[in-house]
């Protein structure tokens, strides 16, 4: 497939380590993909769903102990500990290679080594980057075929260059005690062992497109961010682009694919999806920031996806899709998850493959009582998405009018506010906080600081990352305005106050009006907040001006509590924390005490 000696030498030495029975190169052809699906079905790795309702769709179940990213087993292995920083787990590269070499040795015995050449971004374009993943898992191959651009043309684009990310994965024995997701940014290398779950093993995604890419971006003057990208088209045909960073399972896919509420749909507004998880951002010649989506598909959260919450995502999953850890309706071999439009099936297997009893469902123990795992996922092709942007394959990306940060906060953060400048916007991103979700192993619902939704994904020192954000602002003549949103504020009974989903468009409209200088705002200690009457609530049941006032309140006491927590977090980041952000923090505190 290639004469590239860097590629061939590397594969040879990795094969000597893991000792596969054979080596198979993935060429991107449908014939090869089908052959692999058939093998996976014969071994039980995949289960074929109802061909009529779900053509070419499959169900996969991971090991029960392997259902989410494992942040405590994820390492950034730079030569010095300081370069990884206090927010990351660090291991000395030599020590880490030695430790994992033991785990990889002979781990492919009796298995095939699949070689996946893939491109993040349009193959051969200036802003794309190439990776090669070696894996012993057909599930990984089939997911990478959807999530990235795979095939011989990638090797042609690489030519005889050594510039590719070397990814080695083995599901090995899925041994939880020896599970490691390790990154060597100084070597362009990722080693992942003993997992078979998405974010741990689809190495193009979080490992490359965020951790390694953020490291490269700092070196090369661009940014890799955990952001969706959407285009909002006005009735006059003009499209404005917005990128938004929310932590895992906090609404990126849903916002990226939103269907405008009736008031806007009627008027001719449309939303287009450019990306739902990752954005690579550069300064364009015109001094604006351009964002492109390096992925080729969606690895989306299944539960909660239905025709009302996210019709477009649901349609995207109707063919050529791989479902992971959802429920199986045994009557018709279709999939089911909590929050689907159809009623719970009477005769079903849960995500573990056990007979499921709907009557035992307990909201407080979803993992053990729900049909689908709370972090169950669909892997679907971007081209299946009814609202995929015409700019999806534009290698340069799209110019950003606004950047939005957002978290899952029951209290404190208002529905939306606007920062005063790029520096203040960087501060707003740096103090983001959110309740943890099922997307990572560990407790769910605990508020933690998650700057720019990148806490688990920055491939270097967080202080340097903040400095890089400030630097990018200085290099950008016309930077986008920066906002913060929170769809998740709750009332005294714990119910979400804001309807969310498609109605989030109402907030986007205020944001774009602010960017165009067409609407006023109220200055508060944290930034600019909308006047309650400036968010369009026409056609919203049960949402009044009073609701809007409640959603937009800035409560000084709870913000002052937050300030103390932010100080602790900044200290944890350490001495590479930029002075400018400490200044912003002092301003915030002073504003709150005024
Ligand atoms: P990752 O793929 O993990 O990065 O997640 P994501 O940020 O793309 O989150 P996603 O859009 O898949 O949403 C995660 C969960 O949040 C789902 O259960 C959604 O139903 C729920 N959700 C998304 N948007 C909203 C919203 O506006 N309001 C409320 N209340 N829930 C939402
Ligand atoms: C996330 O957790 O942010 C995801 C899913 O997008 S994973 O690929 O597991 O990282
Ligand atoms: Mn994500």
CB contact set of 222 (below 8 Å; sequence gap of 6+): 280, 281, 282, 283
Could you tell me if 410 and 353 lie in one domain?
no
- Residue 281 CA to residue 229 CA, distance in Å, equals 11
**Do the Cβ atoms of 529 and 522 come closer than 8 Å?**
yes
Could you tell me if 216 and 232 lie in one domain?
no
Cβ 179 under 6 angstroms from ligand 2? no
Nearest alpha carbon, ligand 1 atom 18: 304
Q: What is the pLDDT of residue 190?
A: 99
CATH code for position 325: 2.170.8.10
Residue 206 Cα to ligand 2 midpoint, Å, equals 7
Could you tell me if 525 and 423 lie in one domain?
yes
CB contact set of 114 (below 8 Å; sequence gap of 6+): 24, 25, 26, 134, 135, 136, 137, 138, 140, 141
Nearest alpha carbon, ligand 2 atom 5: 199
Q: What is the pLDDT of residue 81?
A: 98
Q: Ligand 1 pocket: which residues have CB below 6 Å?
A: 246, 248-254, 276-277, 300-301, 303-304, 309, 439, 487-488, 496, 500-501, 504
**Residue 192, beta-bridge partner list:** 169, 181
Question: Annotated catalytic residue: which of 57, 250, 385, 387?
Answer: 250
The answer to the question of residue 52 being in a domain is: no
- Residue 311 CA to residue 306 CA, distance in Å, equals 6
Mean pLDDT score of the chain, rounded to an integer? 97
Cβ 248 under 6 angstroms from ligand 2? yes
In 3D space, the residue among 337, 318, 341 whose CA is nearest the CA of residue 327 turns out to be 337
Percentage above 70 pLDDT, the chain: 100
Could you tell me if 443 and 582 lie in one domain?
yes
Q: What is the pLDDT of residue 566?
A: 98
Nearest alpha carbon, ligand 2 atom 9: 199
The CB-side HSE value for 39 (13 A sphere, CA atoms) comes to 13
Residue 105 Cα to ligand 3 midpoint, Å, equals 31
The answer to the question of residue 60 being in a domain is: no
| Maximum Cα interatomic distance, the chain, rounded to a whole number of Å | 70
**Do the Cβ atoms of 60 and 323 come closer than 8 Å?**
yes
Could you tell me if 120 and 84 lie in one domain?
yes
Ligand 2 atom nearest 69 alpha carbon: 9
Q: What angle do CA 83, 85, 89 make, to 5 degrees?
A: 110
Ligand 1 atom nearest 251 alpha carbon: 11
Q: What are phi and psi of 381, to 5 degrees?
A: -75, 135
Q: What is the pLDDT of residue 454?
A: 98
- Residue 434 CA to residue 419 CA, distance in Å, equals 19
Q: Is 403 helix (H, G, I), strand (E, B) or coil?
A: strand
Tell me: the pLDDT tens digits for 525-584?
A: 999 999 999 999 999 999 999 999 999 999 999 999 999 999 999 999 999 999 999 999
Nearest alpha carbon, ligand 1 atom 11: 251
Q: What are phi and psi of 393, to 5 degrees?
A: -95, 15
Residue 275 Cα to ligand 1 midpoint, Å, equals 15
Residue 60 Cα to ligand 1 midpoint, Å, equals 22
Q: What are phi and psi of 205, to 5 degrees?
A: -80, -105
Cβ 427 under 6 angstroms from ligand 2? no
CATH code for position 140: 3.40.449.10
Ligand 1 atom nearest 254 alpha carbon: 11
Could you tell me if 378 and 403 lie in one domain?
no
Q: Indicate the pairing of strand 165-170 with strand 189-193.
A: parallel
Tell me: the pLDDT tens digits for 409-442?
A: 999 999 999 999 999 999 999 999 999 999 999 9
Of 259, 304, 382, 435, the residue with max ligand 1 atoms within 8 A of its CB, to mutate for a pocket test, comes to: 304
Cβ atoms within 10 A of the Cβ of 59, count? Answer: 24
Among 202, 221, 240, where does a domain finish? 221
Could you tell me if 259 and 313 lie in one domain?
no
Cβ 205 under 6 angstroms from ligand 2? yes
Could you tell me if 361 and 453 lie in one domain?
no
pLDDT interval class at 5 (50, 70, 90):
very high
Residue 250 Cα to ligand 1 midpoint, Å, equals 4
Residue 466 Cα to ligand 2 midpoint, Å, equals 22
Of 67, 200, 224, 277, the residue with max ligand 2 atoms within 8 A of its CB, to mutate for a pocket test, comes to: 277
Cβ atoms within 10 A of the Cβ of 256, count? Answer: 31
Residue 253 Cα to ligand 1 midpoint, Å, equals 7
The answer to the question of residue 462 being in a domain is: yes
DSSP class of residue 188 equals T
Q: What is the pLDDT of residue 68?
A: 97
Q: What is the pLDDT of residue 542?
A: 93
The answer to the question of residue 187 being in a domain is: yes
Among 320, 349, 382, where does a domain finish? 382
The answer to the question of residue 86 being in a domain is: yes
In Å, how far from its chain's centre is CA 482? 19
Q: Where in the sequence is the domain holding 378, given as residue range(s)?
A: 298-382
Among 382, 408, 437, where does a domain finish? 382
Least confident of 175-179, 296-300, 441-445, 549-553: 441-445
Nearest alpha carbon, ligand 1 atom 24: 251
- The tokens for 312 are 């477009």
Catalytic site residue 207?
no
Q: Indicate the pairing of strand 22-25 with strand 112-120.
A: parallel
- Residue 265 CA to residue 288 CA, distance in Å, equals 29
CB contact set of 336 (below 8 Å; sequence gap of 6+): 326, 327, 328, 329, 342, 344, 345, 348, 371, 372
Tell me: the pLDDT tens digits for 306-349?
A: 999 999 999 999 999 999 999 999 999 999 999 999 999 999 99
- Residue 419 CA to residue 382 CA, distance in Å, equals 32
Question: Averaged over 106-123, what is the pLDDT?
Answer: 98
pLDDT interval class at 385 (50, 70, 90):
very high
Whose atoms come closest to the Cα of 278: which ligand?
Answer: 3
Could you tell me if 450 and 367 lie in one domain?
no
In 3D space, the residue among 454, 409, 429, 444 whose CA is nearest the CA of residue 561 turns out to be 409
Of 60, 66, 69, the residue with max ligand 2 atoms within 8 A of its CB, to mutate for a pocket test, comes to: 69
Helix (H) or strand (E) holding 313: helix 311-316
Q: pTM here?
A: 0.98
Whose atoms come closest to the Cα of 228: which ligand?
Answer: 1
The answer to the question of residue 207 being in a domain is: yes
Could you tell me if 292 and 304 lie in one domain?
no
Question: Averaged over 245-262, what is the pLDDT?
Answer: 97
Alpha-helix runs per DSSP H in 60-176: 81-84, 93-104, 138-147, 152-158
* Rg (alpha carbons) of the chain, rounded to whole number: 23
Could you tell me if 483 and 528 lie in one domain?
yes
Could you tell me if 18 and 85 lie in one domain?
yes
Helix (H) or strand (E) holding 509: helix 505-515
HEC string of 207-228 equals: HHHHHHHHHHHHHHCCEEECEE
- Residue 279 CA to residue 264 CA, distance in Å, equals 27
Angle, helix 422-430 to helix 462-475, in steps of 10 degrees: 160
Q: What are phi and psi of 88, to 5 degrees?
A: -95, 155
The answer to the question of residue 123 being in a domain is: yes
Beta strands in 46-97, from DSSP E residues, in sequence order: 47-48, 58-60, 74-76, 89-90
- Residue 479 CA to residue 229 CA, distance in Å, equals 16
Question: Averaged over 452-463, what is the pLDDT?
Answer: 98
pLDDT interval class at 128 (50, 70, 90):
very high
In 3D space, the residue among 151, 402, 105, 407 whose CA is nearest the CA of residue 279 turns out to be 402
The sign of the torsion formed by the CA atoms of 407, 423, 287, 213 equals negative
In 3D space, the residue among 584, 583, 576 whose CA is nearest the CA of residue 468 turns out to be 576
The count of domains in the chain is: 3
Nearest alpha carbon, ligand 1 atom 21: 251
Cβ 455 under 6 angstroms from ligand 2? no
Ligand 1 atom nearest 500 alpha carbon: 27
CB contact set of 442 (below 8 Å; sequence gap of 6+): 71, 72, 436
Q: Is 148 helix (H, G, I), strand (E, B) or coil?
A: coil
- Per this entry, what is the length of the chain? 594
The answer to the question of residue 62 being in a domain is: no
pLDDT interval class at 476 (50, 70, 90):
very high
Cβ 277 under 6 angstroms from ligand 2? yes
Of 67, 227, 301, 377, the residue with max ligand 1 atoms within 8 A of its CB, to mutate for a pocket test, comes to: 301
CATH code for position 257: 3.90.228.20
Tell me: the pLDDT tens digits for 41-100?
A: 999 999 999 999 999 999 999 999 999 999 999 999 999 999 999 999 999 999 999 999
């Amino acid at each position: 497939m290639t004469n590239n000696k860097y590629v061939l030498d590397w594969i040879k030495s990795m094969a000597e380590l893991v000792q596969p029975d054979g080596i198979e190169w993935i060429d991107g052809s449908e014939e090869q993909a089908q052959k692999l699906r058939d093998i996976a079905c014969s071994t039980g790795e995949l289960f074929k769903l109802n061909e009529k309702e779900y053509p070419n769709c499959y169900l996969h179940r991971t090991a029960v102990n392997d259902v989410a990213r494992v942040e405590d087993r994820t390492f950034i292995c730079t030569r010095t500990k300081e370069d990884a920083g206090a927010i990351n787990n660090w291991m000395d590269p030599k020590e880490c290679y030695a430790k994992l070499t033991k785990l990889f040795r002979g781990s492919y015995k009796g298995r095939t080594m699949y070689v996946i050449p893939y491109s993040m971004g349009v193959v051969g374009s200036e802003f794309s980057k190439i990776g090669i993943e070696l894996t012993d898992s057909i599930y990984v191959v089939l997911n990478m075929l959807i999530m990235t651009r795979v095939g011989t043309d990638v090797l042609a684009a690489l030519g005889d260059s050594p510039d590719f990310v070397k990814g080695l994965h083995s599901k090995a024995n899925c041994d939880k005690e020896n599970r490691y997701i390790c990154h060597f940014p100084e070597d362009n290398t990722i080693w992942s062992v003993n997992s078979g779950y998405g974010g741990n093993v689809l190495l193009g995604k979080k490992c490359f497109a965020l951790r390694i890419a953020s490291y490269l971006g700092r070196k090369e003057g661009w940014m890799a961010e955990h952001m969706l990208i959407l285009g909002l088209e006005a009735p006059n045909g003009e499209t404005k682009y917005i990128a938004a960073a929310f932590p895992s399972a906090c609404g990126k896919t849903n916002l990226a694919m939103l269907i405008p509420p009736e008031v806007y749909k009627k008027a001719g507004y449309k939303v287009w999806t450019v990306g739902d998880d990752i954005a690579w951002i550069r300064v364009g010649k015109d001094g604006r920031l351009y964002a492109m989506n390096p992925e080729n598909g969606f690895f989306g959260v299944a539960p909660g996806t239905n025709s009302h919450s996210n019709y477009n995502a649901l349609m995207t999953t109707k063919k050529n899709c791989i479902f992971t850890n959802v429920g199986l309706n045994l009557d018709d071999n279709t999939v089911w998850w909590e929050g689907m439009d159809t009623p719970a099936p009477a005769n079903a297997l849960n995500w573990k493959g056990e007979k499921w009893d709907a009557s035992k469902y307990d909201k407080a123990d979803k993992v053990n009582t729900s049909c689908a795992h709370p972090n169950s996922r669909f892997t679907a092709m971007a081209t299946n998405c009814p609202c995929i942007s015409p700019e999806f394959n534009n290698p340069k990306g799209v110019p950003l009018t606004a950047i939005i940060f957002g978290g899952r906060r029951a209290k404190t953060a208002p529905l939306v506010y606007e920062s005063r400048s790029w520096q203040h916007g960087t501060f707003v991103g740096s103090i983001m906080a959110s309740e943890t979700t099922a997307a990572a192993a560990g407790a769910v619902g605990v508020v933690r600081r998650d700057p720019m939704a990148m806490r688990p994904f920055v491939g270097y020192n967080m202080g340097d990352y903040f400095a890089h954000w400030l630097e990018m602002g200085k290099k950008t003549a016309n930077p986008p305005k920066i906002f913060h949103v929170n769809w998740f504020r709750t009332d005294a009974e714990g119910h979400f106050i804001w309807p969310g989903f498609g109605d989030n468009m109402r907030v986007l409209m205020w944001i774009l009006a602010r960017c165009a200088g067409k609407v006023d705002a109220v200055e508060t200690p944290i930034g600019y907040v909308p006047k309650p009457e400036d968010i369009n609530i026409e056609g919203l049941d049960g949402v009044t001006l009073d609701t809007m006032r409640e959603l937009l309140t800035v409560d000084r006491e709870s913000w002052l509590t937050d300030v103390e927590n932010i100080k602790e977090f900044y200290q944890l980041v350490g001495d590479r924390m930029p002075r400018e952000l400490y200044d912003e923090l002092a301003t915030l505190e002073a504003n709150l005490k005024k």
